[in-house]
Amino acid sequence: MAEPEFVTLQVENGVGTIRLDRPKMNAIDEQLHLEVRAAAVEAGERTDVRAVVIYGGERVFAAGADIKAMSQLDAAGMTAWGKELQDSFRAVAGIPKPVVAAVTGYALGGGYELALCADFRVLGASAKVGQPEILLGVIPGAGGSQRLARLVGPARAKDLVFTGRHVGAEEALDMGLADAVVPDAEVYETAVAMARKLAAGPPLALAAAKRAIDEGLDLPLDEGLDLESRLFAELFDTEDQAAGMRSFLESGPGKATFTGR
């Protein structure tokens, strides 16, 4: 793949920022989502990245998919395009590390679907989120009917998908669409602070916890409990488990340093 044009991965103090920068509104076209996929894979693999922030800049997170490009496609063309988009967003959702979306301005359609791939969402006070695809005669195609319903339940998901309405930050917080609302100018630093705190945790245990929760949601309870039990036991072969329990016994909770081994 060529050098990325619209997406960068910047790493500082254990936090990798996946930064979208496609003027003017970070509209998601094929190039952008493939660059997001590459950045997500790199962030997942790099040992110096222990948590991730997804950020669209001070003005906008991502205002949606590139409708001009999409409008030229028929069902067959969109089947192929949609699969690639889903695969890119799966790469973000599958980052085996804590991921925080830092949302300023609009996160609509594909933009909010990208934010849904994060573990947490920090919104600026003037942010607007939503799934307005119904207003174009279609439905969300990159997780807006599936991840959204799993996050806030089917009735609230149907409210957003059926109406296509924009939701302000405070209502988003009340509905569970956001995890924090802060002044617009503090969105990125708040997301980074949250990510940095999580980055201090044990990487292998965090990855196991994320997998247990995300995969367990799609399993019957007994199978989910089996997955949890297996992942729990596997951590007892790690240096982090030994260090964490030794530190607890010697110094009490919360004082261990974890290496990710």
**Domain presence at residue 162:** yes
Rounded to an integer, what distance in angstroms lies between the CA atom of residue 258 and that of residue 130? Answer: 38
For the chain, the domain total comes to 2
pLDDT digits (tens, 9 = 90+) for 77-134: 888 888 999 999 999 999 999 999 999 999 999 999 999 999 999 999 999 999 999 9
Query: CA 220 → CA 3, 156, 224, distances in Å?
Result: 43, 23, 6
Q: Are 95 and 43 in contact (CB under 8 A)?
A: yes
Tell me the whole-structure pTM to 2 decimals.
0.94
Tell me whether residue 74 is in a domain: yes
Per-residue model confidence as pLDDT tens digits over 170-191? 999 999 999 999 999 999 999 9
pLDDT of 134: 96
Same domain flag for 181 and 221: no
Judgement on whether residues 38 and 126 belong to the same structural domain of the protein: yes
* Co-location of 161 and 129 in the same domain: yes
Among 150, 56, 146, 64, smallest CA distance to 101 is for: 56
Distance CA 169, CA 70 (A): 28
In this structure, what token pair is assigned to residue 162?
Answer: 């059926």
187 closest CA partner among 91, 56, 20: 56
Query: What whole-number distance in Å separates Cα of residue 254 and Cα of residue 247?
Result: 8
- Using 50, 70 and 90 to split pLDDT, how confident is the model at 1? low
What does the pLDDT average to over 33-38?
96
Q: Is 123 helix (H, G, I), strand (E, B) or coil?
A: strand
State residue 80's pLDDT score. 84
Of 199, 219, 242, the one marking the end of a domain is 199
Catalytic residue numbers, as ranges: 65, 110, 113, 133
Instruction: Check whether residue 189 and residue 211 sit in a common domain.
Output: no
- Whether residues 88 and 131 share a domain: the answer is yes
Q: What is the CATH number of the domain that holds 57?
A: 3.90.226.10
Q: Which residue range is the domain that position 232 belongs to?
A: 203-251
Do the domain assignments include residue 75?
Answer: yes
Residue 111 located in a structural domain: yes
User: Does some domain include residue 259?
Assistant: no
Residue-level pLDDT at 67? 79
Q: Do both 169 and 209 map to the same domain?
A: no
Same domain, 35 and 136: yes
- Percent of the chain exceeding pLDDT 90 equals 89
User: Which tokens hold the place of 207?
Assistant: 């990855």
**What is the Cα–Cα distance from 16 to 222, expressed in whole angstroms?**
35
In a 10 Å sphere around its CB, with 0-12 CB exposed, 13-18 middle and 19+ buried, how is residue 258 labelled?
buried
